[in-house]
Amino acid sequence: MITSDKCFIIAELSANHNGSKEIAIETIRAAKRTGADAIKFQTYTADTITLNSKKDDFKLKQGTIWDGMFLHDLYKQAYTPWEWFEDLYKVAREEGLIVFSSPFDKTAVDLLESLDNPIYKIASFEITDIPLIEYCAKTMKPIIISTGIATDEDIELAVKTCRDVGNNDITLLKCTSSYPAPIEEANLVMIKDLKKRFNVKSGLSDHTMGIVTPVVAVTLGATVIEKHFILNKEIGGPDASFSLDETEFTQMVSAVRAAEKASGRISYQLTEKMKNGREFSRSLYICKDVKKGEFISEENVRSIRPGFGLHPKYYNDILGKKLLFDLEKGTPLDLNHIEKN
């Protein structure tokens, strides 16, 4: 599913159904039309992710688009009803999409296991929930972990938790946990460092506006791109402002695929087109009619296009050498034309 030769593009539904199962289903179908590889959900209820408390600890005040709301109220508005999941997974599979989810507690994992969920995504704010990571890793399904709020120690512990239960199929996503995230904070160079430092696959969970950041991420080696997807921004909802609509997401997929092709691979082997192109490289040619016995000089031999003559590296060596034949202007020079002494 997640390989190094093709970026795995995930359309994140999150809260972009705005409470409508019909919108959720149509969004899945739209995700398929964009060219996405997968659709991802979030599996929680307000009560499984937080407490219904009006204490100040539970009030959002970190400069987000949800500031002033209490956590329980936000998640009650944003969650995907669990009774929808069987039908949503069925529709996604009928569409040919890989479908999976981010669980936020063990009961969510149990529900997802009953649906044969193929991948588990650990959200940024859950990277410190070691019991949850361990529970997911024990399924031996691929684990994707966002690193938005993580220190290097947090990441190391999360990765170790997976490996300690024998699960080595781990992908770390560079993520900026701001909604929306400023592009200047994307810090995409971390994608390569995550891969190298923790010996895992790496990618991007993106909350910036537009498609520039995902496209650049692919050129830096991202094997996964996750981006919030909405059928139509007029639907509204908690995540609408930083989600891509169908047209935008389609453009992103197309641009990512083009960037993959442009990035290529490290190789000094010439393609057939490149070999053909060498015909227009420089080589040594007779540039004026010469007679047998004349000496090669700057007046009668030049380095010019095309490339059918002797390599220009021989130029200084052959100056002053005697020619063995009469040669016309425009003749590609050959070592057999030149006296061997």
Q: Taking the domains of the chain in order of start, what are their residue ranges?
A: 8-44+79-263, 272-337
- Dihedral sign computed on CA atoms, order 255, 258, 259, 260: positive
Predicted pLDDT of residue 240: 83
Q: DSSP labels for 265-315? A: ----PPPHHHHHHGGGS-EEEE-S-B-TTPBP-TTTEEEESSSSSB-GGGH
Token reading at 198: 């923790």
Domain at 8-44+79-263, CATH class: alpha beta
How far is it, in rounded angstroms, from Cα 116 to Cα 89? 9
DSSP-derived letter for residue 103 is: E
Quote the CA–CA distance of 167 and 142 in Å, as a whole number. Answer: 8
pTM recorded for the entire structure: 0.84
Record the tokens describing residue 137, joined without a space.
């890793």
Closest of 289, 314, 252, 275 to residue 9, by C-alpha: 252
pLDDT digits (tens, 9 = 90+) for 23-72: 999 999 999 999 999 999 999 999 999 999 999 999 988 777 778 899 99
SS3 159: helix
DSSP 236: -
Residue partners of 169: CB distance under 8 A and separation at least 6: 2, 141, 142, 143
Residues of the chain with pLDDT under 70: none
Which of 26, 7, 63 minimizes the C-alpha distance to 227?
7
> Which CA distances in Å does 255 have to 6, 176, 220, 290, 324?
13, 21, 14, 56, 58
Between the CA atoms of 144, 241, 30 and 72, what dihedral angle is there, to the nearest 10 degrees? 60
pLDDT digits (tens, 9 = 90+) for 191-242: 999 999 999 999 999 989 999 999 999 999 999 999 999 999 888 877 788 8
Q: At what angle do helices 190-198 and 152-164 cross, to 10 degrees?
A: 40
Q: How many helices (H) and strands (E) does the chain have?
A: 12, 10
Fold match flag (8-44+79-263 vs 272-337) = no
283-286 and 301-304 beta bridge pairing: antiparallel
Domain 272-337 fold is Type Iii Antifreeze Protein Isoform Hplc 12 (3.90.1210)
Contact 171, 202 (CB under 8 A): yes
CB 177 within 8 A of CB 206: no
Residue 187, burial from CB neighbour count under 10 angstroms (0-12, 13-18, 19+): exposed
**Alpha carbons 325 and 341: distance in angstroms, whole number:** 16
The encoded tokens of residue 43 equal: 């599996």
CB-based burial, 113-144: b 16+ in 10 Å, e otherwise: eebebebbbbbbebbebeebbebbbebebbbb
pLDDT of residue 242: 85
pLDDT for 21 equals 97
pLDDT score for 270: 82
Where do the H-state alpha helices sit in the chain?
21-34, 46-49, 71-78, 85-94, 106-114, 130-137, 152-164, 190-198, 212-219, 246-263, 272-277, 315-318
